[in-house]
Amino acid sequence: MSTDRYPFREIEAKWQRTWEEMKQFRVQEDPSRPKFYCLEMFPYPSGRIHMGHVRVYAIGDLLARYKWMRGYNVLHPMGWDAFGLPAENAAIEHGVHPVIWTYENIDYMRSQLQKMGISYDWDREVATCDPTYYKWEQLIFIKMLERGLAYRKRSTVNWCPSCQTVLANEQVEDGRCWRCNSEVMPREIDSWFFKITAYAEELLAWCDRLPGWPERVLTMQRNWIGKSEGAEFDLKVDGQPDLSIRVFTTRPDTVFGMAYAVLAPEHPLVDRVVRDPAEREAVARFRAEVSRQSEIERTAADRPKRGLRLSAKVVNPFTNTPVPLFLADYVLMGYGTGAIMAVPGEDERDWEFAEQHGLPIIETVQRPDGWTGKAYTGDGVKINSGFLDGLAVAEAKRRATDWLVSHGVGIGKVNYRLRDWGISRQRYWGAPIPVLYCDKDGMVPEAEKNLPVALPRDVQLSGKGGSPLASVASFVNATCPKCGGPAKRETDTMDTFVESSWYFLRYCSPRYDTGMFEANAAAYWMPVDQYIGGIEHAVLHLLYARFYTKVLRDLGLTKIDEPFMALLSQGMVIKDGAKMSKSKGNVVSDDYVREKYGADTGRLFELFAAPPEKDLEWNDQGIEGASRFLNRVWRFVIAHLDEIKAAPAAAPASLSDAGRAFRRTIHETIQRVTDDIEREFHFNTAIAAIMELVNALQAFEAAAGDGARTTPEHAALMREAVETTLHLLGPFCPHVTEELWEQLGHRESLFKQRWPVADPAALQKTEVTVVVQVDGKVRGRLQVGVDAADDQVRQLALGDDRVKPWVERRRIEKVVVVPNRLVNIVTRA
């Protein structure tokens, strides 16, 4: 290499080859050592890794290597979330089969990750589109079916017209498809669900027991689960004694303020309440209008609420007065009971609706002084509320619920916003749902011995709608495992989020072929100690994986309650003001950075440019700076190889002042870098500390005179500083540090060395600055030995040249010594 850059190409290739040959990151269970399971969310094999993706792998590799050096047995696997729509869409566009497209991308992306030198145990690689993988989730599906945790139901679901498939609620953001951003439409369809709602309470409760998770993610999950406590009770329909409507409210204390009630347009009681033919027609028209909106639109806060007033009324059970009854789009059949009592005084939506429809508004909570808003949802004293008057809201809620219970009209009730997870996809490239439909036996799960139900290779993909599998006769026409007669296979495939709900378990024993995972291996490695991935999965993958783990636990497969002990959600990589992505055309390719600067430089830049949880702005100066730093380290170490190799292994016990100060810098750096990695993931400040150490090293070398330079002290400290630098920098930039480590004459890998520990003796400050005050004013500063005797400090203070003029010719009343900090002298004339 003739350029000014160190030979990173040769070095990186050499060490990737060596680590591979040594099988350095291949691991096995070893009960004698503490384990650390370090995991980055596995990628979808979409094509190419770019610098927007590199960040998460750089963070994972840094933590894995750091933990190796701390003596842990580290599991750091990688695989592919390989099912999904892009493969199918590419097939439709370019005529290449999804399986070919997927495995070609996997091969390319694997080679990229290998050229980055990430410390993966490649023996554990899994691809979720492999039948030996999805076989096991088909088995679990059948077990879930037996327990009622998987079920099929006709319901209104979210339909993405562009992706031509159903989406789960978690996959709809502001009414749009999470993948393609198309507007989602409601559609009534038979489809499969996982009963995640059965775990709502546990999922919520564990949000308080995951201290290693970012609070932001836990809050998003809590809100998504949306627990609300309240009461459920009956409203009698006025004049129809046999009819009553069940409502749910979180505010039973506000019943005295009920201005009207609302039924969801889909509510089955509507047809009984409405009997007049003309009114029925109006209802049908209203329902048709509402059915054109998605749930998200219907419940959006910022749009007018549509309502249809019915001729029937309902009776307020507390006051026995009839109030109007409406159908309104903002009440959904799927939440609570599909009917509400409306209390505009204390509910914003109801207030708006009441204003739009000229309904009375009764306030039942005393407003705070100066209140100018509309509905008031805060605490206060109850008013206009009969027997609840004068009570605080919480107590009034209890009393109102007691009243409903004792009068036989209602019960206390908890509701959740969370809905069951819709897992049916009307697409090809996914795991087949392992059930059949037999004329004689109805729906029948596939027999265990027939698993996997493999995805047929031969399929016509048109993207024109309908499950592609339905047109594959050899797949559809099958044998009923129960009666042996003809049966038709289910043609929906599973949501790909099912595969990602357990891949971390599969990594524990990826080749195990008699079950999902080997119990002892999983017991050793699980749970994941550090999980790293984007915030966009807060209520998607991260919720599903928690649920699925609990299901596996309840099926007796694992003992863990939660899959991920700690979570780091890295920020995005931004370029030209937008998230780096292929579709935005602002991608910096990993290949380009690696070719021009080396993989270590790309990683160092991304770890240095911002704290991991913050967004990172790509800039070319930054990467140049990272490159300059590594070259500086390289040149310095190479220039001093002989001196360092000849140096004593340890610094002498007694050091010169300069030597002691330099050694303190070395050990302070160890402490700072360790704390920054360990406590708060402040990788950027850790790197800054290493850079300061390198500056100090160069200054130490430059300041030493020729005589000093040849002393054992100098050589020993140079060695200590250089070796410490390589240790600390190793997990950030593994190739260049490993090479320099070898150049220093070491035979064993840098990553088999122990992470340095700061020497308390070296950290000790030998002198401190003590401030001298005379009559409350600072008059001098003393350099004294740490923990010097009070008497000695007092003498030094009184004898100090800057202090003397302020105490001479005055009587000294009192001298107070605060050790290591202050001498306070009080005088009198």
Binding site for Zn ion (CB under 5 A): 160, 162-163, 177, 179-180, 182, 438, 440-441, 480, 482-483, 485
Q: Which two tokens stand for residue 380?
A: 């206060």
Q: Min. distance of Cβ 438 from Zn ion in angstroms? A: 3
The helices-and-strands tally (H runs, E runs) of the chain is 29, 30
Q: Min. distance of Cβ 179 from Zn ion in angstroms? A: 5
Instruction: CB nearer to Zn ion: give 296 or 658.
Output: 296
Is cis: bond before 77, omega within 30 of 0?
Answer: no
Instruction: CB nearer to Zn ion: give 438 or 494.
Output: 438
- Please give, one letter per residue, the 3-state secondary structure of 557-572: CCCCCCCECEEECCCC
Distance CA 587, CA 671 (A): 37
Burial state string for 531-559 with b = 16 or more CB within 10 A and e = fewer than 16: bbbebebbbbbbbbbbbbbbbbebbebbe
Q: Min. distance of Cβ 175 from Zn ion in angstroms? A: 12
Instruction: CB nearer to Zn ion: give 438 or 817.
Output: 438
Do 333 and 267 meet the contact criterion of CB atoms below 8 Å apart? yes
Distance CA 174, CA 184 (A): 9
Q: Min. distance of Cβ 442 from Zn ion in angstroms? A: 8
Nearest to 400 by CA among 343, 321, 318: 318
Instruction: CB nearer to Zn ion: give 180 or 703.
Output: 180
Q: Min. distance of Cβ 445 from Zn ion in angstroms? A: 12
Instruction: CB nearer to Zn ion: give 73 or 165.
Output: 165
Instruction: CB nearer to Zn ion: give 166 or 210.
Output: 166
Q: Min. distance of Cβ 584 from Zn ion in angstroms? A: 18
Distance CA 468, CA 430 (A): 11
Instruction: CB nearer to Zn ion: give 30 or 448.
Output: 448
Do 344 and 259 meet the contact criterion of CB atoms below 8 Å apart? yes
Instruction: CB nearer to Zn ion: give 171 or 737.
Output: 171
Instruction: CB nearer to Zn ion: give 485 or 652.
Output: 485
Q: Which two tokens stand for residue 62?
A: 């840094």
Burial of 195 (0-12, 13-18, 19+ CB in 10 A): middle
**Any idea how long the chain is?**
829
Q: Min. distance of Cβ 480 from Zn ion in angstroms? A: 3
DSSP structural state of residue 452:
-
Distance CA 709, CA 670 (A): 24
**541-554 helix and 131-146 helix, angle to the nearest 10 degrees:** 70
Instruction: CB nearer to Zn ion: give 122 or 178.
Output: 178
Q: Min. distance of Cβ 64 from Zn ion in angstroms? A: 35
What DSSP letter does each residue of 615-684 carry, written as one string? Answer: -EE--HHHHHHHHHHHHHHHHHHHHTHHHHHTS-SS--SS--HHHHHHHHHHHHHHHHHHHHHHHH--HH
Distance CA 816, CA 790 (A): 9
Q: Min. distance of Cβ 246 from Zn ion in angstroms? A: 36
Q: Min. distance of Cβ 437 from Zn ion in angstroms? A: 9
Q: Min. distance of Cβ 170 from Zn ion in angstroms? A: 14
Q: Which two tokens stand for residue 744?
A: 């220093």
DSSP structural state of residue 74:
E
Instruction: CB nearer to Zn ion: give 11 or 476.
Output: 476
How far from each other are the two terminal CA atoms of the chain, in whole angstroms?
78
